[in-house]
Structure 1
Amino acid sequence: MAELDKGLKQRIVGALVLVALAVIFLPMLFSRPDEQRQVVVDAPVMPSMPAIPEQSVVPVEVPEPEPIPEPPQPPQDQVGSVPVQPEPVVTAPAQAEPAKSVSHLDANSLPVSWSVQLASLSSRERAVELQQRLRAQGYNAYVRSVDGMNRVFVGPVIERAEANRLRDQLNRQQKLNGFIVRFQPEQG
């Protein structure tokens, strides 16, 4: 009788497993939940652009820069080779506080800055060629025409020491013996 009960138990367990599987999977086969389900999105209406208040513009009078004496110019069509006397160095008293960053402004409240003059050429085309060559190598080069001469500069930089480094770098890399001058904004 034990063998008969064992076989009967296996058949009953098998039948129960089949019924459980049928209960789980048959509804999936006969219904299509993706067709019955509809998604509705209730999004708010896009807000209108806020009104931007108008700004009034007040013109400001810019003072004319003070003319400074021009440094001596190299001979015509020669790359800068005239030396310039260095600016005197002012040192702080020994008991002064540690160095603080001070902005240097001239009499017109414009920042004091420096450029390296590399050449003074009579040919505008040659001056522009040199400017373009320097710009292609990453230098901030510009040309100013004064009294029929076209001067090629690199700069401006704020610190005199940085101008010295720039002059030395241009001398080494470009073989241009320039000299340092005060940067003057173009008058227009």
Structure 2
Amino acid sequence: MASPLQNRIVGTAILVALAVIFLPDLLDGEKRSRDEALETIPLRPALTVEQSTVEFPDDFEERVDQAQPRPVQEEEFSSPPEPVSVTIGQNSGDNVDGNVDDRGDENTDMPAWVVRLGAFRNTDNVTRLVNQLQGEGYNAFSRTVRGNNGELQVLMVGPDFDPERLRGQLAELNALTGLEGQLVPYQPTPE
């Protein structure tokens, strides 16, 4: 049999449970109805679609048959020049000391060329490489380019009107920097 203490605890628990259940209803002074006004949504109205017929002129079919097809003018688009892939060969030793070539105005209609050595995120690396190449007598510079992944620093050597001279410098540039360069057309302003 259960002890009197256990009986008292069970009895108290039952009384507390009944109080929690029934006291809120007893203490609620006014019986307020919580019925909310429900609005009925009307059914979708029936739509009637009126179909109309289009009347064409009597000679419409004759006009369609007589109509001449218009010729389509096709425009030819020129694609931008692709970068030239260059194999690294023997160094010719030209323009190693950085002397400027005096050719006059005869090359103004020819495109200039540069060697693009690489694109870097770290500006310090680009500055170090530019200083190293300029110390060796190369006309090196960097340019900031915005790409999909943020800003990049492009390292370039040049420009020069003679692409063969730049091709001759590729082997020494590779030895100095460890980068394989590409010969690309020079554009004075960034793309």
TM-score range, shorter chain: 0.3 to 0.5
Normalised TM-score (structure 2): 0.41
Q: Larger Rg: 1 or 2?
A: 2
Normalised TM-score (structure 1): 0.41
